[in-house]
Amino acid sequence: AQKVTQAQTEISVVEKEDVTLDCVYETRDTTYYLFWYKQPPSGELVFLIRRNSFDEQNEISGRYSWNFQKSTSSFNFTITASQVVDSAVYFCALSPLMNTGFQKLVFGTGTRLLVSP
Amino acid sequence: DTAVSQTPKYLVTQMGNDKSIKCEQNLGHDTMYWYKQDSKKFLKIMFSYNNKELIINETVPNRFSPKSPDKAHLNLHINSLELGDSAVYFCASSQDLGQGKETQYFGPGTRLLVL
């Protein structure tokens, strides 16, 4: 079974603090992909990053960084020097490689991040 | 230029009515999806079409019927609407390479409220 757990329901920080959003996944597949999406208050879903199961290198994009650890089945997301505009619900998702070759995203329950000035 | 668009953005209707939501993508993708986001923000896939063919059909009531007239469009028709159908419905698309790695790009969502 495929499952994504985001144990933090809501996190509140003050601007300029660093914050880490946790994501733990379960899959028996050896090939899979992990994603993070952002859902700001306006409601749309914005793609942030994709990582495959064979690439455990950490990735940094501006104030965002991702830490993928296969040994602990985690794909955590850190925002450095948070800003009010980072306030959103963040979703971690898993895409197992189905036997059809097609994709199905399995989402976590999301973490609501509130950044106050 | 909107990549994945949905109409309408908001839909308020009475129980028992039939309604449709339309989705169009101009990304040249060949796979499209419908997801449902409930009041607790939980996102779950409903359907997926590849080149107009149904490839994923999760446990969804028969009242929901997707239709893909061409690979750029995927519409969702809902019969006999129920209170529990109230949710945000997201359309998404990806360029499927048969490797499971493709990124799905989402539309703005359609907020459906059944009274």
What is the distance between the terminal CA atoms of chain B, rounded to a whole angstrom? 34
| Interchain contact, A95 vs B100, CB within 8 Å | yes
The residue among A76, A103, A43 whose CA lies nearest residue B107 is A43
Which residue is associated with the tokens 């539309």? B107
Residue A100 Cα, gap to closest chain B Cα (Å): 8
pLDDT of residue B59: 77
Phi, psi of A84 (to 5 degrees): -55, -35
Cβ atoms of A11 and A58 within 8 Å: the answer is: no
Does B98 score more than 70 pLDDT? no
Cβ atoms of B94 and B103 within 8 Å: the answer is: yes
Cβ atoms of B91 and B106 within 8 Å: the answer is: yes
pLDDT of residue A72: 95
Of residues A47, A97, A107, nearest to B43 (C-beta):
A107
- Per residue in B31-57, pLDDT tens? 999 999 999 999 999 999 888 888 888
Instruction: Note the residue count of chain B.
Output: 115
| Interchain contact, B96 vs A37, CB within 8 Å | no
Phi, psi of B85 (to 5 degrees): -80, -10
Mean pLDDT of B78-83: 96
pLDDT of residue A39: 97
Instruction: Note the residue count of chain A.
Output: 117
Q: What is the 3-state secondary structure (H, E, C) of chain A?
A: CCEEECCCCEEEEECCCCEEECCEEECCCCCEEEEEEEECCCCCCEEEEEEECCCCCCEEECCEEEEEEHHHCEEEEEECCCCHHHCEEEEEEEEEECCCCCECCEECCCEEEEEEC
Mean pLDDT of B63-86: 95
| Interchain contact, A102 vs B56, CB within 8 Å | yes
pLDDT of residue A54: 87
CA angle B8, B73, B17 (to 5 degrees): 45
Mean pLDDT of B3-17: 96
Q: Compare B71 and A84 and report the one with higher pLDDT.
A: A84
Q: What percent of chain A has pLDDT over 70?
A: 96
Of residues A45, A95, A100, nearest to B55 (C-beta):
A100
Q: What is the DSSP secondary-structure string of B53-102? A: EEEEE-S--TTEEEEEEETTEEEEEE-S--GGG-EEEEEEEE---SSS-P
pLDDT of residue B84: 94
Mean pLDDT of B56-67: 88
Residue A66 Cα, gap to closest chain B Cα (Å): 17
A1: chain B residues, CB-CB within 8 Å: none
| Interchain contact, B99 vs A97, CB within 8 Å | yes
The residue among A31, A2, A5 whose CA lies nearest residue A105 is A2
B35: chain A residues, CB-CB within 8 Å: 105
| Interchain contact, B88 vs A107, CB within 8 Å | no
| Interchain contact, A44 vs B43, CB within 8 Å | no
Number of other CB atoms surrounding residue A30 within 10 Å:
8
Q: Which residue of B has its CA nearest to A29?
A: B100
